[in-house]
A and B are shown apart, each in its own frame.
Chain A
Amino acid sequence: MPKFLITRPEHDDTTFLLSSFMNQTITFAKDKGFEVFDLHREKANKSNYEGLVKNNPEFIVFNGHGTINMVTGHKNQPLLIAGTNDYTLKSKTIYAISCQSGVGLGSSSIKEGALSYTGYINDFILYYSPELISRPLNDSTLKLFLEPSVILVESLLKGNSINESHAKCKEKMVNNFKKMISSNEEDYNDMAQYLWWDIQNFRTFTKTEILD
């Protein structure tokens, strides 16, 4: 049975929004026959991660705040650290929805034998409606920022290559950006620059190339 590991801390608005949106990929993975390891809320910590990653999941999705060399878990505690436990990424396909982690972990994970590391090389920006914070899937603004990430993960779970999955995600981001920038609605125009920023900083590192 193929395996899928996901971390979903939920200690502030940002991590709650990411966790809620990426929860869709858990249902999808189960429907595709994956065994899912869901490190949710306080379970999203380094000790649990290092224990469960020994099950050799093919795919890992990290949701959480980050720095150039780190992705954090519950309450911003270090969970994945370049040069410390990135050896756990060997032979795996990784997507980190996390600020800046692509800078250091992108290359260090590949050196440690990861098949690919997809992430962001600067701050990851979200634009959302606070009044819909309890129902994030109903937030059409937020959807424009996070739906591409769901597409990337679901494409990988379907068995598509990282190159194809990266391209599908990027295409959705660009289409959403075009929708925003050509809209007559003021908030769409305003949010366009932030999605543009995320697109500029989206990267996939592999053994042979860096996709942007």
Chain B
Amino acid sequence: EVISEKEKQLVIFRLSKMPANKKISIGSEGQFNKDELIQHVENEDAVGKKIVEIQMAFLRAMKSGTLYA
């Protein structure tokens, strides 16, 4: 799916709060630190879209009270 500008900016803002000394492994896509993840979201590539998908799914579940469903 196409990422909306609103989602993109929200995820970039949330990624900006990620500790700089941590990395996230996304399977065979690779391992990424905060700056790399922000760049991938900016580029809207496969890694960027995956991060947006995860974060938006989490936020939707939190908003609807279904985190533990």
What residues of chain A have their CB less than 8 Å away from a CB belonging to chain B?
12-14, 17, 65-66, 72, 76, 98-100, 123-131, 141, 174, 181, 186-187, 190-194, 196-197, 200
Q: For residue B29, which residues in chain A have a CB less than 8 angstroms away from its CB?
A: 123
Contact A190 B18 (CB under 8 A): yes
Total of A-B residue pairs, C-beta within 8 Å: 75
Q: Which B5-45 residues have C-beta < 8 A from chain A?
A: 14, 17-19, 21-31, 33
Please indicate the chain A residues that have their CB under 8 angstroms from the CB of B22 in the complex: 127-130, 141, 187, 190-191
B67 at the interface (CB under 8 A from A): yes
> Beyond A123-B50, A190-B18, is A196–B61 a contact (Cβ under 8 Å)?
yes
Asked if B3 lies at the interface with its beta carbon under 8 angstroms from chain A, I say no
A14-B31 contact in complex given A174-B68, A197-B58, A200-B57, C-beta closer than 8 Å: yes
The chain B residue sitting closest to A13, CB to CB, is B31
CB pairs A–B below 8 angstroms (23 shown):
A13-B23, A13-B31, A14-B27, A65-B27, A76-B28, A98-B27, A99-B28, A123-B27, A123-B29, A124-B27, A125-B25, A126-B24, A127-B22, A127-B23, A127-B24, A127-B25, A128-B25, A130-B22, A141-B22, A186-B17, A190-B14, A194-B54, A196-B58
In contact, B21 and A129 (Cβ under 8 angstroms): yes
Whether B25 pairs with A14 at a CB distance below 8 angstroms is yes
**Distance in angstroms between the alpha carbons of A130 and B31 in the assembled complex:** 10
Measuring CB to CB, which residues of chain B are less than 8 angstroms from any residue of chain A? 14, 17-19, 21-31, 33, 50, 54-55, 57-58, 61, 67-68
Would B17 and A13 count as touching, CB distance under 8 A? no
B61 nearest CB neighbor, chain A only: A196
User: What residues of chain A lie closer than 8 Å to B54, measured between beta carbons?
Assistant: 125, 193-194, 197
A100–B33 alpha-carbon span in the complex (Å): 23
Q: Is the CB of A128 within 8 A of B57?
A: no
Q: Which residues of A contact B33 (CB under 8 A)?
A: 130
7 closest A-B pairs by beta carbon, nearest first, are A99-B27, A65-B28, A193-B58, A126-B25, A187-B19, A14-B25, A13-B31
Most buried by B among A124, A181, A194: A194
Interface centre among A130, A193, A196 (most CB of B within 10 A): A193
Q: Which of B18, B31, B67 contacts A196 (CB 8 A)?
A: B67
How many whole Å from A35's CB to the nearest CB in chain B?
A: 31
On whether the beta carbons of B23 and A130 are closer than 8 Å, the reply is yes
Tell which of B17, B18, B24, B28 touches A125, judged by Cβ atoms closer than 8 Å: B24
Provide the residues of chain B in CB contact with A131, threshold 8 Å: 21
